Amino acid sequence: MRKQIERSFESIIFASRWVQAPIYGGLIVGACLYTYKFLVELIHLVMDVQEIKEEMLMLGILTLVDISMVLNLLVMVIIGGYATFVSRMDLASHEDRPDWLEKIDAGTLKVKLAGALVGISGIHLLKSFINISNKSTEQVQWQVIIHVVFLFSTLMLAYTEKVLHSAKAKPK
């Protein structure tokens, strides 16, 4: 009787991973909304290209790059998170299957996400440098500090993952 209760409870715990599925669905909706913002910005740039200064065009293009990087981050979270924490995806024979999906685990996903955040932070910092006349010194300083913290955190996560993976690879 005790063993049956334990197995039933473990089945419930294991099935609870499906609670995350609607979250990944919501992230897909968020990606669609962000794609809409991308298209709005692109149309705005196309329509105003004759009137805007080169600096503003560059800022608009950096905004497009930024949106693209955020969407890449969302795709990594959606696909990687679902495949890592909810259910395997049967994509072995799919011609468009991403290479990184083969090697993904929770630690690798964290490092990839942190790297994407560093890239996004870098784009924001570049936008600030291009538009520095409209930014206070304090704003730019905080952006640099935040970027350095993201960068350092990513390096530490990557190093930790390397150490963990090399420890697993060594025979005991």
Q: For 116-125, write each residue's pLDDT tens digit.
A: 888 888 888 8
Q: Is residue 129 part of a domain?
A: yes
Q: Is residue 74 part of a domain?
A: yes
> Is 0.85 surpassed by the pTM of this model?
no
The total of structural domains in the chain comes to 1
DSSP conformational letter for 96: T
Q: Is residue 6 part of a domain?
A: no
- Which residues in 90-131 belong to E strands, given as ranges? none
Residues 79, 84, 90, 96, CA torsion sign: positive
Give the residue numbers spanning the domain of 162: 17-169
Q: What angle, 0 to 180 degrees and rounded to 10, lies between the N-to-C axes of helices 54-75 and 21-48?
A: 160
The residue assigned the tokens 């196309």 is: 46
pLDDT in tens, 3-51: 999 999 999 998 998 999 999 999 999 999 999 999 999 999 999 999 9
Q: Is residue 7 part of a domain?
A: no
Rounded distance between C-alpha atoms, residue 71 and residue 116, angstroms: 10
Cβ count near 95 (within 10 Å): 5
Rounded distance between C-alpha atoms, residue 105 and residue 96, angstroms: 20
Q: Is residue 4 part of a domain?
A: no
Q: How many residues does the chain have?
A: 172
Q: Is residue 5 part of a domain?
A: no
